[in-house]
């Protein structure tokens, strides 16, 4: 992998979006601090340099666009298992522990005539102990889970070595990633309220489908969500 490091940057995803043309496939940009870190659904991703922040540029074999964030989530999940951390994967992009977010993934694509590049941005709460007020009840860090500091560099190195190593088996058998995500999915059999195309809807999750979409039943219809934000998760349908 071609690794570029910045002490301070606006956003590692934005950097790769702006420079994808001149950078090789599998370039990774890391930063100690992002001034305008971005999350999904237009939210910002605020850091205090205790998070691991990086983005990966993919330019070749990117036809399974929807499966790449799931592949990245699988690599992180396996890495956490090595630290004896039993996490869940919340479709499409979050890694949760004890129902709190440990890691977020923001995948973006660059289209000209076709999809030219895919950028997978990852933020992991590593040594964070103080979260912004608005996320303090829904976020968690490795340090909070294990009561010691972690080396950001070691986690980063483990991630990129495993990511590159497992990429060819992902290309040859993308379904194995879907099966893995289903095994550790926090949404299986849950009733969800989700926001898509500006409308709030409800449904019951069946599984992650082969193409990476979320298969749900809503008003007796089988639907496949490609994106959208899940607002509420319940294990049973509420009576009211
Ligand atoms: C989310 O939880 O909504 C996704 C968060 C993704 C944050 C990472 S940090 C590195 C990369 N650069 C960004 O601006 N965002 C991603």
- Share of residues in the chain with pLDDT > 90 (%): 74
Confidence (pLDDT) at 147: 96
Average pLDDT of span 35-57: 94
Residue 14 Cα: closest atom of ligand 1: 14
Strand duo 27-34 + 2-9: pairing: parallel
Q: Cα of 95 to ligand 1 centre, how many Å?
A: 13
* d(C-alpha 75, C-alpha 77), whole Å: 5
The string of pLDDT tens digits covering residues 189-233 is 899 888 777 788 889 999 999 999 999 998 888 989 887 667 677
Confidence (pLDDT) at 231: 65
The whole-chain average pLDDT of the chain stands at: 92
What is the reported pTM?
A: 0.92
The least confident of 35-39, 73-77, 213-217, 232-236 is 232-236
pLDDT beyond 60 at 170: yes
Confidence (pLDDT) at 111: 87
Q: Cα of 220 to ligand 1 centre, how many Å?
A: 35
Q: Which value, in Å, is the radius of gyration of the alpha carbons in the chain?
A: 17
* d(C-alpha 37, C-alpha 10), whole Å: 6
Residues 6+ apart with CB under 8 A from 74: 89, 177, 180, 181
**Tokens for 88?**
């869940």
Strand duo 51-58 + 115-125: pairing: antiparallel
pLDDT beyond 60 at 238: no
Q: Cα of 240 to ligand 1 centre, how many Å?
A: 36
Closest CA to 57 of 66, 68, 49: 68
Average pLDDT of span 51-61: 96
pLDDT beyond 60 at 9: yes
Is the CB of 50 within 6 Å of ligand 1?
Answer: no
Residue 51 Cα: closest atom of ligand 1: 9
Do the beta carbons of residue 104 and residue 39 sit within 8 Å?
A: yes
Residue 122 Cα: closest atom of ligand 1: 8
């Amino acid at each position: 992998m071609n690794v570029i490091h910045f002490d301070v940057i606006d956003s590692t995803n934005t950097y790769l979006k702006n420079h994808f043309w001149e950078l090789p496939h599998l370039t990774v940009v890391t930063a100690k601090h992002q001034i305008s870190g971005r999350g999904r659904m237009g939210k910002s991703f605020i850091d205090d340099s205790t998070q691991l922040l990086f983005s990966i540029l993919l330019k070749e074999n990117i036809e399974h666009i929807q499966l790449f964030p799931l592949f990245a989530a699988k690599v992180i999940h396996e890495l956490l298992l090595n630290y004896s951390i039993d996490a869940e994967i919340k479709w499409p992009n979050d890694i949760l522990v004890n129902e709190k977010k440990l890691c977020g993934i923001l995948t973006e694509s660059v289209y000209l005539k076709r999809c030219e590049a895919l950028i997978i941005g990852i933020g992991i709460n590593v040594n964070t102990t103080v979260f912004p007020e608005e996320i303090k009840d829904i976020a968690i860090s490795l340090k909070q889970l294990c009561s010691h500091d972690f080396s950001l560099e070691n986690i980063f190195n483990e991630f990129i070595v495993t990511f590159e190593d497992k990429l060819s088996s992902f290309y040859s058998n993308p379904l194995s990633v879907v099966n893995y995500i289903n095994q550790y999915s926090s949404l299986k059999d849950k009733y969800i309220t989700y926001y898509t195309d500006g409308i709030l809807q409800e449904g019951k999750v069946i599984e992650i489908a082969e193409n990476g979409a979320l298969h749900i039943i809503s008003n007796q219809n089988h639907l496949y969500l490609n994106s959208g934000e899940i607002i509420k998760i319940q294990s049973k349908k509420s009576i009211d």
